[in-house]
Amino acid sequence: MRRIKFGTKMLLSLVAIIGCTVIFSFFFIHFLYSRLYLSTIEESILYQGSQLVMLSQHDTSLIESSDPIQWHNSMTEYEILQLNHLEELPALFPDILNDQDLLKDTIVKQLEKESYAFVEGFLNENKQEVLGAVFPIEKQGATAGYYFIFTTLASIPNAFRESLPLLVAFGILFFFILFLVLNRIWYSILGPLQELQTLSNEVSRGNYSSRIQTDRDDEIGKVMKAFNSMSYSLEQQEERKKEFSSNVVHELRTPLTYISGYTHVLKDKIHSSPNEADSYLTTIEKEAERLGKLINDLAELNHLQEDMYVIDRQPIALAQLFLDTLDLFKIHIAEKKLRLALSVEEDLIVMGDPKRVQQVFYNLLDNAIKYSSIGGILAIVLKEEHSFVEFKVRNEGIHIQQEDLARIGERFFRTDKARTRTTGGTGLGLSIVKEIIRLHDGTFSISSDSKIGTIITVKLPAMEWDEKG
């Protein structure tokens, strides 16, 4: 089944609205005619009849005279007839009362209950509708005759002849305004949707640079801004994917080049001494280890970023875990002649995975020592701050530019753009750190100043006292 386009739906909606409006107008006019106009005529007939009957009861001589009837006929728009018997009505108005059954069933029964009876029908001449009422004339407790008051009813156009031009004018104005409003809505919705469709096609072809210019704050504007945000995110992801591919190629090419080159030298025995051959083998071993570490780090990072990964939470004595990790770097600290400034609070406990938390300490200490200046200060603070345990490490070394701070922790991102091999590393350490901290509901921040140095701050939720107890 073919789906209806949105524009066609809008057009059908417009037609439906107009149709419903016309139907409503018809029933509304019919209501005015049947309820208001006819009710007004009936009330007026009842008033005229009650006045005439009351006048006849006060002066019974008027029953035999036609003067009050002539006076009423001249003063009102209604016709008044005086009848001696109800059987005279069918002769006067055969099309209204065309048989005795109608006379008997309709009028007589109603007069038994009320002091009047309504009669309606059509005249023979031009089928004009007539509305009237029969009023009994009482004389000494008996019915002496009947008054029949009637009038011809105007048709709907005649009844509303004066108001019809106004209704037509307002109807035309209403439809014109409705058309302008719907046309405005039409283009305000379909225009952006068509633009969204065009740019979506561009995005599907890999062009993520297109944006929709808009200053709207309504739902359509929010959709357009969301599309711009999506395009920007896709563009950033595409750039990062290209950069990631380039980084992977670079990180793999270098060790593979060393391994391939030195293996060729050893295979062809292009070396001058056994010591040189051992040096080549050592280089091959180091590069193989570096290649293995790169693969392991990538696998570990992907594992941490999986939604199904669950950490093994248990109480951790954080100070002891940190000091044990710091002992692993004694040799490296001594080699760089770093001055260590420690401020560690005891009895700090967090709920977390001990191996992963130690990995955070290890990677942060490794980076801080690796990029410290020789003879510089390595300041470390571990304390409880409000409901968090704060770990802060500061070193004096390479100043990180402001534009690079936001990218710290991205895969393969390193501030040493030349990628010298003196520092080693894969550029994945801080990425792993940030993922571990995220899994522990903690925060990671970094700042760098040429005078103070680079400061990395990690906050982990402290264990609640009721949990400690």
Q: How far, in Å, CA of 410 to CA of 387, rounded?
A: 28
Q: What is the pLDDT tens value at each position of the chain, 469 positions in all?
A: 456 666 676 677 777 777 777 777 777 776 766 667 778 888 888 888 888 777 776 665 555 555 556 656 655 677 888 888 877 777 766 655 444 444 556 777 787 777 888 877 776 656 677 888 888 888 777 777 888 888 877 655 565 556 667 767 777 887 788 778 777 777 777 777 777 778 888 777 777 777 777 777 777 778 888 888 888 888 877 777 776 676 677 667 767 887 888 888 888 777 678 888 888 888 888 778 778 877 777 777 777 766 666 778 899 999 999 999 999 888 889 988 999 999 999 889 999 989 889 989 988 998 889 888 899 999 999 999 888 999 999 998 777 777 777 767 666 666 655 444 445 556 677 888 888 888 889 999 988 887 888 899 999 998 775 544 4
Q: How far, in Å, CA of 52 to CA of 59, rounded?
A: 11
Spatial contact of 381 and 390, defined as CB atoms under 8 Å apart: yes
Domain 200-309, second-level architecture? Orthogonal Bundle (1.10)
H-type alpha helices, 148-212:
156-159, 164-204
Give the global pTM.
0.48
Spatial contact of 432 and 297, defined as CB atoms under 8 Å apart: yes
- The C-alpha torsion from 365 through 368 and 369 to 374, rounded to 10°, is -160
Q: How far apart are the first and last CA of the chain?
A: 67
CATH of domain 310-468: 3.30.565.10
Domain boundaries, the chain: 6-159, 200-309, 310-468
H-type alpha helices, 268-353:
274-305, 318-327, 330-335
With respect to CATH, is domain 6-159 assigned 3.30.2030? no
Helix, strand, coil shares, percent, the chain, to 5: 55, 20, 25
The tokens for 439 are 């899994």
- Is the torsion defined by CA of 196, 197, 200, 201 positive or negative? negative
Spatial contact of 159 and 37, defined as CB atoms under 8 Å apart: yes
- Residues 6 or more apart from 170 whose CB is under 8 A from it? none
